[in-house]
Amino acid sequence: MKGMMGKILRVDLSNRRISTIDTSDYEGWVGGHGMGSAIFWDLAKEKRINGFDERNVLTLMASPLNGTPVPSASRLEMQGVGLQSFPTEWFTRSNIGGRIGAMLKFAGWDGIVLEGKSDSPVWIDIRDEKVRIRDAHDIWGLDTWETQSTIWKDVSGKTDFTRDWAEVNDEHWSTQRPAVLTIGPAGENLCRNACIIHEKGHAFGQGGFGAVWGDKKLKAISVIGTRSVTVADPDGLMKAWEWARKRYSKWPPDPDARFYNQFAPSVPAFQFWPTKKQGRRKACFGCFSGCHAVFADGKGTEGKCYPTIMYLFQDLKKHGRVTDATYEAVNLMNREGFNAWELGRGMGYVKSLFDQGELGPGKNIECDLPFGEYGGTRFVEEYLEMVIERRGIGDDLAEGMPRAAKRWGRLEQDQKTGLLPCPFWGYPEHYDPRVQVEWGYGTIMGDRDMNEHEINWLFWIGNPTDWIPSGGRKEPVISAEEVANILAEKMVPYQGDPRMLDYSEENIYSERFAKTIAWHRHFTRFWRQSVLLCDFRWGPINTYAPGNKGELAEAEEPFFSAVTGKKVTIEEGVELGRKIWNLDNAIWTLQGRHRDQVDFAEYIYREPFNSPQTNYMPGRENGKWKYLDMTGRRLDKKKFEEWKTRFYQLEGWDPKTGWPTRKILESVQLTHVADELEKQGKLGAAPS
Amino acid sequence: MAGSSVSAKSVIFQEHTALAIPAAEGYLLVDPKKCQGCLSCMMACSLVHHGSVNLSLARIQVTHDHLADFPGDAVISMCRQCIEPLCLKACPEGALHVDSAHGNVRTVDAENCIGCGECIKACPYPIARSVWNHESGLAEKCDLCAEAPFWKETGGPAGKKACIEICPVHAIAFTANVPMQEGDSGYLVNLRGKAWEQFGLTTD
C-alpha cells in the first residue's frame, strides 16, 4: 500500500537485538491500532500478564497517512499492557501528536515493536535505517526537556540549526531536529501515572506506559529521517486539500466557532491571559488547526486543553485571578513526565481529604504538604516531588489514585460518595458518565478513559460559554435536533436514527444507544486510531460547511485514497474497526475479563450529578428535541446491566460473560482467535 | 506589508556588459512569527516536485526549535530569487540559470547539473536555499513551482505556488515587486494583521 515504508522495527531489549518485521505481513490492518493489536496478539504469547511483566510487548504504530499533507494525520498509536487501569491492568492504548509519527515514517519505518527488558538504562537511536540501542546512564535522571536537548546535541553534533544541515547518515542531510520520546523522573521511578513526553508538551498521557518504559529501563527513543513517503496520487492529494479547505475552513475563522469548527486555525486550546501574549500558535505535523502555543516567557508552552486548566480554578480561588501558577504547573508536570489527569484530580482528592480532616500532619493519613499554598506553584512542586520520589503517601499516590485509596482503606467509601473521582477502570474523571453517557459507556466497555471526542462535540455545542473562568451559558447556535440529525446520518451502518443521540433517561439504556456506542467503538478503532487522524480536528459539525455537516465520516475517503491508492468507504473502514474491536475484546477476555467487572464506581449510580458549570446534552423531552440539563442525573445500575446485555447481543458476544463468540469472530476473519479462546475455555457461548 | 514597490520588470542586474540577469518576476515573503510549524509547506513542496513527501527534498525549509521560546524558535528559509544570484554565478555548467519562460525564476536544469554543490556553498543565506537531492546527486531549488510535474496547476510567478496554497495560516505570501535585497526586512514580513487579533497573540 502506498504511504507505507515496508518495515517495522523490532527491538528486543533483553538481548539488545534489532530486527525487522515486514509491514506486508500486517497490511490488512492498514496501520496504527489495528496493526498494534494484531502484532500484540502474535508476539505476546501469554496475554494474562501485568504491565511489569517482561513478556509485555509494546507497539508504536504509524499509518500510511503519517508524513503526508493529509490534514491532522499527525498521530502515533502505542499499545501494550498498561499500568494505569484498576483493578486489572488492561491491554490498552495511548496516542500522541507532534512530529514523531511523521518522523518515524521519514526514517523508513511503519512502527516500532518493543520486547523484553534491558538490564540497564538505554535509549534507542534511530537515524533512517541505522538503529542502535545505546547506553542511557548519562541521561537517566534528567527531566524530559533536558533529555531531548542532550539527545539533539548527540545526534546532530554541533549543528546550528539556524544555519546548517546536519548529516543524518552517509550523505543524507536534514535541517530538522530529531523527534524524541522520553520518560522523565516519574517513569524512571515507576509511577503508574507517568507518561511519555515529546517536545515540551506532547504526551502519551494515559494508559500508564511511562512506568512500563521505566521498568524496561528504556529512557528514550530518538528518530530522525531523510526518506520519502510515497503518495499514490499527489495531484489528487493537493486537490483534496484544496477542496477540504474551501468546504470546511474559513479565513479568518469565526472566533465563536472555535469549539466545533475544528478544521480551521484555532485559538490555542484553553489559554487565558489578561493581555495579548508574545507567542505563536503551534501545530502538530500537517495539522490545520494548531491548538498548541509557544510563548516568549515559556509559561505553559506547548500545554493545551486539560493541562492548562488543571490548576486554573485552584489558582483563581487562591489568588482571585489567574496567575503564573496555572502555567508553571503545566511546565513542571511535562518536565517530570507526569499525567495531567492524575495530577489535577490527584491533588484535588488529597485536598478534599485534608478539608475533611482525614489527611494532614498527625491525621489518619499522615501528610505534611503545604495546603495553605494550594493553588500556588509551591504546592504543585512539592506534591510532584513527594509522589515521584515516593516519600510518605507519595509512595501510595505513585500507584495511582485508586490504589492509593485502597492502601488508605478508603476505596469503597470514596467510590461511593465520589470523593475519589475515578468512575471507570480507576481512571480520573475526564467527562462524567452521568452526563456524557457515551463517554462513560465507551470507556467502561473498553479499557481506559476513552478520550475520543466524536460525540463529545455535542456537549460543546450545547454548552457554548466562556465558562472558563467567568461562567454563563450562551444560546447554542445549532439546535439539538439538528446536531442529532447531522451526526446520526454519519453513523453508518446504523445511520438515520437521530434518537441514537437522545440523552433522555428513557433512551440511554436502549438498544439504539447500544448502536451509538458500537458505532463509536468501530469507527474510531479504524478511522482515528488506525488511520491516525486526530479526533480533535475531524468533527461532526462545522458551520462553515454546507448543512453544517462536519468533516467526520465524510472527508476521510478522498484523502485515504489519494495517499494509498486504495478506495475504502467509510462503511468499509467501520467494518474493519469492528474487526479490530473484536480482537481487542478477545485479548481482554484472555486477560480474564468478565461482564461482572464492567461496572462504574458506585457514586455514578448513587450520587446525583451536580456542578457549577453547565452540562447540557441533546435529547427529547415530551416528544420535542432540546438540550437537556443533565443536573441531578445518576445512572440506574439495573438498567445499565440490561443495557450491557443489549450491547453484548448487538456485538454478537455472549451476554452472560461478555466474551466474543465463534460466530462473530469468524464473521470478521478471526477464526484463529476463536480457536485460541476455545482452547483456553474463554469462548463466548453461542446464543441458544 | 514591508517591501519595495519596484516592479521586477524594470530591474536587471548587470555586473558587466556580458552578463545581464533579469530580475525574477516573483518572490516569496514569509512571517516567521505567524508560522505554526506544521511543515505543510515543506510537504507540499516535495510532493509536487517529486511525487513523494520528503522533508530533505523540500525547497523551503522550516526549522523549529521545539524547546526554545518565541520568537527565536522558528526560522523559515526560502529562496529569495536574488537580484544578484550568487548561486547562478557559482554554477560552472550554467545549470543554475534564469528561466525566462517562467518569469525569470532562478532554477536548476537537472540535465546540465553535475552535482558539484557550488551553488549550495555560494548561497549567502543560511540555511542554503539551493538544496542537495541525495537521491539524484543533483542540486535543486525553489522555482516558484514553475516545474511541478506532480501538480496539475500552472505554477511559476504568474501561477500557483504549492507552499502558499497549502499554508493553513497564510504565513507565506507572494509579491511581484522586488523586495529590499539588503537584510531580511524585505522578505521577513508581518502577515498577521487584524485577523490575528482573535488568537490573543501578538500582531507586532
Give percent above pLDDT 90 in chain A. 87
- Does residue B86 lie in a domain region? yes
Residues in chain B: 204
- Does residue B151 lie in a domain region? yes
Q: Is residue A68 pLDDT above 60, yes or no?
A: yes
Mean pLDDT to the nearest integer, A633-650: 98
pLDDT of residue B198: 84
> Residue A158: is it exposed, middle or buried by C-beta count within 10 angstroms (0-12/13-18/19+)?
exposed
Please indicate whether, in this complex, the C-beta atoms of B63 and A162 are within 8 angstroms of each other. yes
B-chain residues within 8 Å CB-CB of A268? Answer: 199-200
Mean pLDDT to the nearest integer, A327-346: 97
DSSP B112-131: T-----HHHHH--SSSPSEE
Candidates B55, B73, B164: best to mutate against A (most CBs of A within 10 A) is B55
Mean pLDDT to the nearest integer, A211-221: 98
> What CA–CA distances, in Å, run from A215 to A17, A119, A194, A210, A668?
18, 10, 12, 9, 36
pLDDT of residue A158: 77
Mean pLDDT to the nearest integer, A169-175: 89
pLDDT of residue A471: 58
- Phi and psi at A169, nearest 5°, equal -165, 115
Shortest CB distance from A176 goes to which of B47, B53, B55?
A: B55
State the Cα–Cα distance between residues A7 and A22, nearest whole angstrom. 5
Q: Which residues contact B155 (CB under 8 A, 6 or more apart)?
A: B48, B102, B143, B144, B145, B146, B147, B148, B161, B162
Q: Which residues contact A214 (CB under 8 A, 6 or more apart)?
A: A183, A187, A188, A189, A190, A194
Pick A181 or B17 by higher pLDDT: A181
A-chain residues within 8 Å CB-CB of B73? Answer: 280, 294
pLDDT of residue A265: 86
> Residue A249: is it exposed, middle or buried by C-beta count within 10 angstroms (0-12/13-18/19+)?
buried
Are residues A125 and A131 in contact, defined by beta-carbon separation less than 8 angstroms?
Answer: yes
Please indicate whether, in this complex, the C-beta atoms of B199 and A284 are within 8 angstroms of each other. no
Q: How far is A14 from chain B (nearest CA, A)?
A: 32
- Phi and psi at A346, nearest 5°, equal -65, -45
Question: Grid coordinates representing A464?
Answer: 457554548
Mean pLDDT for chain A overall: 95
Please indicate whether, in this complex, the C-beta atoms of B63 and A301 are within 8 angstroms of each other. no
Mean pLDDT to the nearest integer, B14-31: 81
Residue in the block written with cell 488547526: A289
pLDDT, tens only, A94-108: 999 999 999 999 999
Mean pLDDT to the nearest integer, A406-415: 98
pLDDT, tens only, B97-129: 999 999 999 999 999 999 999 999 999 998 888
SS3 A345: helix
SS3 A125: strand
pLDDT of residue B2: 43
Are residues A197 and A224 in contact, defined by beta-carbon separation less than 8 angstroms?
Answer: no
Q: Is residue A180 pLDDT above 70, yes or no?
A: yes
SS3 A139: coil
pLDDT of residue A480: 97
Please indicate whether, in this complex, the C-beta atoms of B47 and A251 are within 8 angstroms of each other. no
Shortest CB distance from B127 goes to which of A163, A177, A279?
A: A163
Task: Name the residue of chain A whose CA is nearest to B133's CA.
Answer: A172
pLDDT, tens only, A244-282: 999 999 888 887 777 678 888 887 776 666 666 899 999
DSSP A497-549: -GGGG--STTTTTSHHHHHHHHHHHHHHHHHTTTT---TTTS-SB-TTSGGGB
Residue range(s) occupied by CATH 1.10.569.10 in chain A: 268-417
Pick A302 or A416 by higher pLDDT: A416
Mean pLDDT to the nearest integer, A110-127: 98
> Residue A407: is it exposed, middle or buried by C-beta count within 10 angstroms (0-12/13-18/19+)?
middle
Mean pLDDT to the nearest integer, B15-32: 83
pLDDT, tens only, A12-34: 999 999 999 999 999 999 999 99
Mean pLDDT to the nearest integer, A408-435: 98
- Does residue B189 lie in a domain region? yes
pLDDT, tens only, A664-681: 999 999 999 999 999 999
**Going by CATH, does the domain composed of A268-417 fall within 3.30.300.30?**
no
State the Cα–Cα distance between residues A491 and A485, nearest whole angstrom. 10
State the Cα–Cα distance between residues B109 and B92, nearest whole angstrom. 13
Shortest CB distance from A288 goes to which of B66, B168, B201?
A: B168
Least confident of A143-157, A303-317, B25-39: A303-317
The range of the structural domain enclosing residue B57 comes to: 8-199
pLDDT of residue B156: 97
pLDDT of residue B1: 39
Number of domains chain B is built from: 1
Shortest CB distance from A281 goes to which of B47, B53, B199?
A: B199
A-chain residues within 8 Å CB-CB of B196? Answer: 252
State the Cα–Cα distance between residues A390 and A406, nearest whole angstrom. 16
Superfamily of domain A7-224: Aldehyde ferredoxin oxidoreductase, N-terminal domain (3.60.9.10)
Residue in the block written with cell 447556535: A477
Shortest CB distance from A277 goes to which of B63, B77, B200?
A: B200
Pick A166 or B7 by higher pLDDT: A166
State the Cα–Cα distance between residues A649 and A101, nearest whole angstrom. 37
pLDDT of residue B3: 47
State the Cα–Cα distance between residues A261 and B92, nearest whole angstrom. 53
- Does residue B3 lie in a domain region? no
Q: What is the ipTM of this complex?
A: 0.96
- B136 in contact with A, Cβ within 8 Å: no
Long-range contact list for A565-574, CB < 8 A, 24+ apart?
Answer: A565/A1, A565/A2, A565/A232, A565/A233, A566/A1, A566/A232, A570/A490, A570/A492, A570/A527, A571/A492, A571/A493, A573/A523, A573/A526, A573/A527, A573/A531, A574/A492, A574/A493, A574/A519, A574/A522, A574/A523, A574/A526, A574/A527
Quick one: fold of A437-537+569-679?
A: 1.10.599
Please indicate whether, in this complex, the C-beta atoms of B63 and A175 are within 8 angstroms of each other. yes
Give percent above pLDDT 70 in chain A. 98
Give the amino acid at A655: P
Q: Is residue B6 pLDDT above 80, yes or no?
A: no
pLDDT of residue B4: 53
pLDDT band at A464 (very low <50, low <70, confident <90, very high): confident
Mean pLDDT to the nearest integer, A578-598: 98
Mean pLDDT to the nearest integer, B52-80: 96
Pick A406 or B13 by higher pLDDT: A406
pLDDT of residue A412: 98
pLDDT of residue A226: 97
* B residues 79-118 lying closer than 8 A (beta carbon) to A: none
Shortest CB distance from A295 goes to which of B70, B153, B199?
A: B70
Residue in the block written with cell 479565513: A251
- B70 in contact with A, Cβ within 8 Å: yes
DSSP-derived letter for residue A177 is: P
pLDDT, tens only, A545-577: 999 999 999 999 999 999 999 999 999 999 999
Give the amino acid at A193: N
Closest by CA position to A134, among listed A151, A146, A149, A148: A151
Task: Name the residue of chain B whose CA is nearest to A288's CA.
Answer: B168
- Does residue B12 lie in a domain region? yes
Mean pLDDT to the nearest integer, A157-175: 86
pLDDT of residue B5: 62
Mean pLDDT for chain B overall: 92
> Residue B20: is it exposed, middle or buried by C-beta count within 10 angstroms (0-12/13-18/19+)?
exposed
Residue range(s) occupied by CATH 3.60.9.10 in chain A: 7-224
**CATH code, domain with B106:** 3.30.70.20
